[in-house]
Every structure is written in C-alpha cells, then in structure tokens.
A and B are shown apart, each in its own frame.
Chain A
Amino acid sequence: MDHGAEFALEKHFDPIGARIGMWLFLFTELLLFGGLFLLYAIYLNKHPEDFHYASSQLNQFIGAMNTIILLTSSLTMALAVGAMHRHSRKLALFFLILTFLLAAGFLVNKYFEWGAKIHHGIYPGSEELLQHPQGEILFYGLYYTMTGLHGLHVVVGMVVMGFLFYFSVKKSHKAVSLQPHFLQPLLGKKLKLTDSKGTKIWESEEISDQISGVEVILKGKQPEDKFASNTVKFENAGLYWHLVDIIWIFLFPLFYLIAM
C-alpha cells in the first residue's frame, strides 16, 4: 500500500477560509438590517412626536432585561469559544447550553412583550392601530418587523447551537472515505490492518467491482483535526451570535429609549 497517501480523500479544511466566509456572511446580515435602519431613520425624521409617544408605550423593563440577557449570552458564547481553544470540550458544552438557555429566555420575554401589545390590539393591520396617527403605525410596523427579524435570527442561532452540540458530542467520525475512482487501482487486492510491529489485526475480502466505497470510521475520543474543525465552527457560531447581539444593542435604544 505505498499509494496510501495518494488515496486519502483530500480534506478541504481551511480555518482561515471558513472565517472569511463567515465574515462575508455577516456583511450581508448587516446590510439586511441596514435597509430597515434606513427606513427607521427616515420615518423617525418625518414623525418625531409620534415615534416619541409610541416608544414611551413600550415596556422598558422587559427591553432592558432582554438586553442584559443577550449581553450575558454573548459572554457565555465567548467563554464557550475560549474553552474550545483551551481544549476543554466539556466546559465548552456547558457554556453552549447556558447560551442556548439565555437565548430561549430572550424569546420567552419577547413572547410576553408582543403578547401584551397584541392583547391591546396593537399589531400591524389591526383596527385599533389604524385609528392611531401615521407615525405610530409606522413605528409599530417597524417595531414588529425589526424585532421580529431579530427574533428569527435568535431562533436560527439556537438551531446553530443545536448543531454545534451534536457535532461536539458525536463519538464516531469518518476518517477516510475512498470513492469508487480511488478503488479502481485496488481491484483484486485486499485491505489489511496491522499494528506497529506489522502483526495483522484484520484483513478484508478481495476488492471487486461490487464494492462501491471504503470508509474508515473512528470511534471514541475525537481526533485532533476534528476538534480543530469543531473549534472553527464554535468561532463562527460565536461571530454570528455576537452579530445578533450587536443588532439588538442598536434596536434597544431606537425602540425603547428614545422617549426617556
């Protein structure tokens, strides 16, 4: 098997590339919200009094609480990434779960906040809201759209955390996968597993064209490269989560604090 190295599936593992891709994606997210911030700026300029009044009707306490929750979750996310860097997977998972719970807490608060408003008939297209001045209709339109889109991002973040959890807990990993075109030169030969002294541990059948692929699955502790690739996944998820946080840092004063 002197061609062994040639047949190993080439791994496209490029941490810097993954990070570049993530940053580019974050740019698109910023611009997605950028359009909404632009609308907010223009309508605030057009209807300052209405925005002022409508903002005073929001629940500043829940807003502030959510800000604290989200900031704390950013901290726990950063701690999870840090734990990965220090190779302590268990600690990272602990902080990841904590982040997940904080995110869920944020959504629960949001649910009660929206619920209260909707209960009072303040939601887009409602009879009640249409009686209000135009500035307030726009304020609440933007309020529901922007915090809604942000909430959607929180949900996506939680799904991402779920995947991270799965990837870090997974015990078995595909180490080598030989596609059919790599098997061609091996036709009629056997695969053998030996220990360091050359003693045979296991031998395969003869490889015929019936066999469509060979996979080597590792079980037990995560191999180093898998760990490294998980670390990059943690870093990228962390970047995303901080973006969600930063957007909220702007949403909070714009909706809750302009009247104070």
Chain B
Amino acid sequence: MASVAGTVPMEKSFYEEKGRHSGLLAWLLSTDHKRIGIMYLISMTTFFLVGVAIGVLMRLELISPGETIMGAQTYNSLFTLHGVIMIFLFIIPGIPAAFGNFFLPLQIGAKDVAFPRLNLLSYWLYLIGVTIALSSLFTGPGPADTGWTFYAPYSLRTGTNVTLAVLAAFVLGFSSILTGLNFITTMHRMRAPGMTFFKMPLFCWSLYATGWIQILATPILGITLALVMVERLIGVGVFDPVKGGDPVLYQHLFWIYSHPAVYIMVLPAMGVLTEIIPTFARRTIFGYKAIAFSSMAIAFVGYLVWGHHMFTSGISDTSRMAFSFLTFLVAIPSAIKVFNWLATLYKGSIDMQPPFLYGITFIILFSIGGLTGLILGSLATDIHVHDTYFVVAHFHYVMFGGTGFVFFAALHYLGPKMFGRMYNKKVAYIAWVFLFIGFNALYFTMFILGYKGMPRRYYDALPEFHTLHVIATVGSWILVTGIIIMFVNLYRGFRHGEKAGINPWGGTTLEWTVGTPPPLENFHEIPTVVHEPYYHPRNENEEEK
C-alpha cells in the first residue's frame, strides 16, 4: 500500500482542520491537547494582565503618605485579589497547563495526552473556578480581604465573601490535580519507541516531578479549604479557637500544600529553561541526569520544609530547627541546576536570541531570590524580616523573576511554533530592557524596605520609607511599560508576523521536527528515537539524521 502521505494533504495545521464543531465551540469542545494548551495560555495571560493592573494600583496607593487613591479596606481586598489571581489563576496552572499541554506530547512523540477528555475537563474546571472567583467579587458582602493564604481564624470571622473565594481555589486545585495525573500517565505510557525515561527532554522530567507534587500536595489544600468552607457555613470548629480548634493547625495544613506549590510554579520554568539553554548554546546539556534527579529531589524535599513559613507562629524550637535545616537542604538541588546550566553555556557557541535573553534572566533573578531565601530560612534573621517587604521581594524574585521571566521566554521560544509566526526580535530586546530595569527597581527596593522594617500588606507607610516607596512605584511603571511592549509585540507577531519555519531556533527535540503549527495528529508516523534529546551534530553532514 502506498504511503498515505500522497493522498492526505500534509501541511494542514491543527488550526485548519475542520472538526465537528465550528467557531468558539471548536475550541471549547476540543480534546486536542494543542487547542487546550492555547486556551489555557490565553486565559492565563488575561488574568496575568489583570493581576498586573491590580499590582500597579497597589503601588500607586503607596506613592504618597496617607490615603492616595483607595482606603485600607479596598487595599486589603486588592492584595487578596492580586494574590489569588496570580497564584491560582496564573502561575499554578502556568507553564504546565499552557506549554506542557501543547509540548509534552510533541516532545515525547505522542499524538495526544493519555486522557484527552480528562484534559478538557481540567480546562472546564479551570473555567468554573474562574467563574466562581469572579462571582465572589460581585456577590455577597464584598471581596475577600484575608490575603491569598486565608489564614484562620480571621478567614472564619471576616464578613467578606471568603466562602466563594475558597471554593474557587478548591475547584482550581482539582483542575491542577487532573492535569498532573494526566501528564504522569502520559509519560509512563505514551513515549515514542526508543525514548527511554533518560532520553526524554528535561522539560518532561520537570513536568513529571511537578505532576507528582500536584497529585500528592493539592488534596491537602482541598481538604483544608473545604474545612474553612464548612466552618463558615455550619461552624464545625476545627480551626476556631473558641470551639477548641487550633488556628496554627490551619497554617500547617495550608503550607503542607502551599510550599510544595511554589515548586509546582517554578519546576516547569526550570524545565523550559533547560530546553532553551542547550538550543542557544548549540551544545548538549551538561549533567542530564543531575538535572533530572534534582527535579525529583526538589519535589521530594520540597514537601518537608513547610514549617519555614511559620517560624514566628509559635511552633517549637525543635521543629523550627528541623525545618530550617531542611530549608537549607532544598537549596542544593536548585543550585545543582544552576551550576549545570552554567556548565552547559561554558564553551558553547552562544546565540543571544530573545528567548535566550529572557531565559538567562531567570538565572540572575532566581539566584537573587534563592539566596535571599536562605536569609529567610535562617531562624535568627527570619525573626527580623518576617512579614516585611523582604518576604514580598524574595517571593517576587523567585516567582516573577523566575517563573514569570521563563514564561516570557517560553512565549518567545515556543510561541512561533504554536502560532506559526515570528515576532519582531528587535522590539523583544527593547521590551526586555524595560522589564529588567523596572523589575529590579520595583523589587530590589522592596528588599531594602523590608530590611528597614516596612511591614507587608499595609496601605500606608511611615514617612522614612517614603523615598523608597516612590522608587518602587516608578519601577512598577517601567515594568508595566515593558510588559505592554512585549505583549503588543508578541500579539502583532503571532497575528501578522512573517511565517516561522519548522525549526526557527535550531532546537533538537522532537517538537521541532513537525510542521509549524503542528498538524492535528502531531506525527504522521510516530518517530523512533535514537539520540539523547540535546544531540547537536558537529558537522553539517551528520545533520541529516
């Protein structure tokens, strides 16, 4: 029988294939992992921009002493909303749901994920969670003002609409669990022939580690938030001191999930960076196994460090010392990754393209964030800077400077594959300059503010902090300028830019062997894998393979 290649029009991308439904339904009812990935990407980017807007408003409030543009209560609701949106709607689904969905099957040589319908269900749950979160703003007694941590007993007592906000987080958690479950099964069952676990691209390894955290940590958050809900609705009493409950237990249960959750946020970013670095250094990754195992080590040790959020909550000295020690321990696998990336760059033939520039910014900013994390992990210094801007700065350095910048890098690196068109590279560099300057002006100032004693979550500041607050606010404007330039450039590029080739960056993994954008079934013939993922042939003749 003749190869089917002659009869089926090959170059049709998944956008052009006509499915059973058309219009918006073609997206909302599609079980194609690529369409689901793009739906996630668009939804998350939207909420990211909303979260940014709220952040800018908060900074504006702090530009001058006293009430500037909003009162204390509004400010409380805004920082809660900023946290809930950025954490639950953007950064937790984040890279796995958008880029993982799109590229995991492509990278392991599969036609889809293991459970395509479950995948669509995850997205619907995400949408339902979003709807509930939004309705919590406009219904009932007003938006929640507890901070994204929903600490008891305040979350049990406040008159604001905590119940719905918590329900939203619960539903979103369920969506996250299903994504993790789906990815792990996919990697166990659907790798192309020849692709052993140790021939998988390292992005897949990071998704694998992330999947385990999603599965094993998220249920704890689910039950904790469910308890807050039943507490508010019928008054069960497990966290309410009046009824004998222990609010510190709430903090334990909350952080048993929420500390591993920061690795849900950052591990996939490390994975994307591990893809970007060998591509633009034009050489194989240094220490493949060390990077793969360090992902798993982060996932495992990350479980055991939650107590470092509670050094000042009144836990015993023994547990504080244990948690402090474990916190130092979890820095090791992160450092292993950083050293391996640097070793990969050493003697590489580096090509400073936009994705690479955004990517290596991670190394700088994440290192600052990580090292200040050690200051917070030490008991003596943590007592001093706990609940100050120092923590806020540390968190934004690892999350925004880390995951956020890699998210941008991924948009620049993988976006042309997803949308089939290239953006303006020059503008991408300009946007980066704004982002980098704005970011550091905004958040590095916060380190200083925190060190001097500015507490977090205050809508006003003492006069001695005024100058620094002005610098931070101006920094936020520069940062936002960068974000706007970058997104406008990407949007214009992906809509009207010139067509991108099959492999615009010289990547070596399987996703660069399929059409741009990929065809509906990804691979007309499932490839057989012989090389390790980052095999860069030394001369042109070898490139044939």
Contacts and interface: CB of A to CB of B under 8 A. Distances in A.
Co-assembled chains A and B: yes
Given A28-B219, A32-B219, A179 B19 contact: yes
B12 to A, nearest CB: 7
A47 B111 CA distance: 56
Nearest to B177: A28
A25 B184 CA distance: 11
B227 A27 contact: no
Interface string A146-185: 0001000000000000000000000000000001110011
Contacts of B9: 184
Contact of B8 (A21, A35, A184): A184
B289 interface: no
B246 interface: yes
A31 B216 contact: yes
Main secondary structure of the interface of A (DSSP, over half): helix
A145 interface: yes
B7 interface: yes
Contact of B18 (A32, A38, A181): A181
A151 to B, nearest CB: 14
Interface string B164-180: 00000000000001001
A185 B238 CA distance: 65
B249 A42 contact: yes
> Interface extent on B, as a size class?
35 or more
A213 interface: yes
B13 to A, nearest CB: 11
A12 B105 CA distance: 14
A21 B185 contact: yes
Contacts of A149: 226
A141 B177 contact: no
A125 B235 contact: yes
B362 to A, nearest CB: 30
B216 A27 contact: yes
Interface in A130-148: 130, 133-135, 137-138, 141-142, 144-145
Contact of B224 (A17, A35, A212, A213): A35
> Interface extent on A, as a size class?
35 or more
A20 B236 contact: no
A218 interface: no
Contacts of B249: 39, 42
B219 A125 contact: no
Nearest to B237: A141
B17 A31 contact: no
A207 to B, nearest CB: 14
Given A17-B185, A28-B218, A32-B219, A141 B238 contact: yes
A25 B181 contact: yes
A12 B8 contact: no
A203 interface: no
Nearest to A10: B111
A178 to B, nearest CB: 11
B222 interface: yes
A180 B219 contact: no
A224 interface: no
Contacts of A43: 238, 244
Interface in B211-227: 215-220, 222-224, 226-227
Nearest to B246: A42
B245 interface: yes
A135 B224 contact: no
Interface of B: 1, 4, 7-9, 12, 17-20, 111-112, 114-116, 118, 177, 180-182, 184-185, 188-190, 215-220, 222-224, 226-227, 230, 234-238, 243-246, 249, 253, 256, 520-521
Interface of A: 2-3, 6, 10, 12, 14, 16-17, 20-21, 24-25, 27-29, 31-36, 38-39, 42-43, 46-47, 123-125, 130, 133-135, 137-138, 141-142, 144-145, 149, 179-181, 184-185, 212-213
The 3 closest A-B pairs by CB, nearest first: A134-B244, A125-B235, A141-B236
6 contacts: A12-B114, A21-B115, A27-B216, A138-B243, A138-B244, A142-B236
Given A3-B7, A21-B182, A141-B243, 11 more contacts: A6-B4, A33-B223, A39-B253, A42-B246, A46-B244, A138-B243, A141-B238, A145-B227, A149-B226, A180-B18, A181-B520
